[in-house]
Amino acid sequence: MDSTLRFLSIRALHDSELPARRRALLNQLPLSITTALVYAGSAVFHTPLLANPLVWWAAGLFVLLLLACVVVPWERLPARAVLVLPVLDFVPIGLLREGMYPEVTGTVMMLLFPVLWLVTSGLVPYGAALLGAAMTLVVVWVPVFASPVPVTGDALTGALPVPLLVLAIGATVQEITHQLRVKETQLREALATTAHRKRLLYTVLDSINSRVLAVDTDGRPLVTNYGMLADYAGQRVAHGAAAEASLPGMYTESGRPLTSAQRPIARALAGESFTDHLVRYGEAPTQRVLSVSARTMHNDEHQPEGAVLSFHDVTELVNALNAQEEFVTGVSHELRTPLTSIRGYTELLTMDETLSETTRSGLGVIERNTEQLQNLVDDLLGAGNGAATLHPAPTDLVALLTEATAAAAPRAASGAVTLQTQAPQTLIAHCDPVRIGQVLDNLLSNAIKYSRPHSTVHVLATHHQGSARVEVIDHGIGMGPEDTGRIFERFYRSATARMSTIPGLGIGLALCREIIEQHGGTITCRSVLGEGTTMTITVPINPPSATPASGGASTTDHDPAPNILV
User: Residue 471 pLDDT more than 90?
Assistant: yes
- The answer to whether residues 213 and 221 touch, using CB atoms and an 8 Å cutoff, is yes
Mean pLDDT across the stretch 312-325? 80
What is the sign of the dihedral through the CA atoms of 395, 396, 397 and 403?
negative
3-state SS, residue 423: coil
| The Cα angle at residue 207 between residues 492 and 192, in degrees rounded to 5 | 145
For the chain, how far is it from start to end, CA to CA, in angstroms?
Answer: 54
Higher pLDDT, 97 or 324: 97
The answer on pLDDT for 459 being more than 90 is: yes
Q: How far apart are CA 33 and CA 27, in angstroms?
A: 11
For residue 65, pLDDT over 90 is answered with yes
Whole-angstrom distance, CA of residue 204 vs CA of residue 557: 49
What percent of the chain stands above pLDDT 90? 17
In the prediction, which pLDDT does 420 show? 92
Residues 345-367 pLDDT 10s: 787 888 877 888 888 788 888 87
H, E, C per residue of 168-214: HHHHHHHHHHHHHHHHHHHHHHHHHHHHHHHHHHHHHHHHCCCEEEE
Position 107, amino acid: T
Q: For residue 472, give the nearest of 458, 462, 484 by alpha carbon.
A: 458
User: How distant, in Å, are the alpha carbons of 137, 415, 474, 508 from that of 408?
Assistant: 114, 11, 14, 16
Classify residue 279 by its DSSP letter. Answer: E
Instruction: Catalogue the E-assigned strands of 465-513.
Output: 467-474
Q: What is the Cα–Cα distance from 101 to 94, expressed in whole angstroms? A: 10
Average pLDDT score over residue span 531-552: 71
CATH architecture of 211-313: 2-Layer Sandwich (3.30)
Q: In terms of Cα–Cα distance, which of 275, 240, 279 is closest to 258?
A: 279
pLDDT tens string 251-298 = 887 778 888 788 888 888 888 889 888 888 777 777 888 888 999 998
Residues of the chain with CATH 3.30.565.10: 393-565
> In degrees rounded to 5, what are phi and psi of residue 417?
-115, 135
| pLDDT of res. 344 | 80
Instruction: Give the integer Cα–Cα distance in Å for 431 and 467.
Output: 11
With a CB cutoff of 8 Å and minimum separation 6, the contacts of 332 are 377, 380, 381
User: Which segments of the chain belong to CATH 3.30.450.20?
Assistant: 211-313
Rg (CA), the chain: 47
Amino acid at site 239: H
Name, in order, each residue with C-beta under 8 angstroms of 465's C-beta and a sequence gap of 6 or more: 555, 557
Which amino acid type is present at position 2?
D
- How distant, in Å, are the alpha carbons of 28, 207, 428, 544 from that of 517? 91, 42, 18, 13
Average pLDDT over residues 449-462: 91
The pLDDT tens digits of the residues spanning 138-162 come to 888 888 787 777 877 777 887 788 8
Q: Which residues contact 110 (CB under 8 A, 6 or more apart)?
A: 31, 34, 35, 38, 93, 96, 97
- Residue 239 above 50 pLDDT? no
- Segment among 99-103, 234-238, 409-413 with least mean pLDDT: 234-238
Angle at 199 between CA 193 and CA 201, to 5 degrees: 100
- Which is more confidently placed, 386 or 202? 202
The predicted model scores a pTM of: 0.43
CB atoms inside a 10 Å sphere around CB 40: 10
Q: Do residues 335 and 377 lie in contact, with contact meaning Cβ atoms separated by under 8 Å?
A: yes
| CB neighbours of residue 306 within 10 Å | 20
Confidence of residue 564 (pLDDT cuts 50, 70, 90): very low
pLDDT value at residue 387: 54
- Residue 493's SS3 state is coil
Q: What is the pLDDT of residues 178-197, one digit of tens each?
A: 888 888 888 989 989 988 88
Residue 76 has pLDDT above 80, yes or no: yes
Q: Are 149 and 112 in contact (CB under 8 A)?
A: no
Quick one: 393-565 is in which CATH superfamily? Histidine kinase-like ATPase, C-terminal domain (3.30.565.10)
Q: Is the pLDDT of residue 175 over 50?
A: yes
320-381, what's its fold? Helix Hairpins (1.10.287)
Residue 101 has φ and ψ, to the nearest 5°, of: -80, 135
- Residue from 136, 134, 84 nearest 109 by CA: 136
Q: Rounded to whole angstroms, how far apart are CA atoms 441 and 434?
A: 10
- Tens of pLDDT along 101-128? 888 888 888 988 998 888 888 787 778 8
Inter-residue contact 287 to 281 (CB < 8 Å): yes
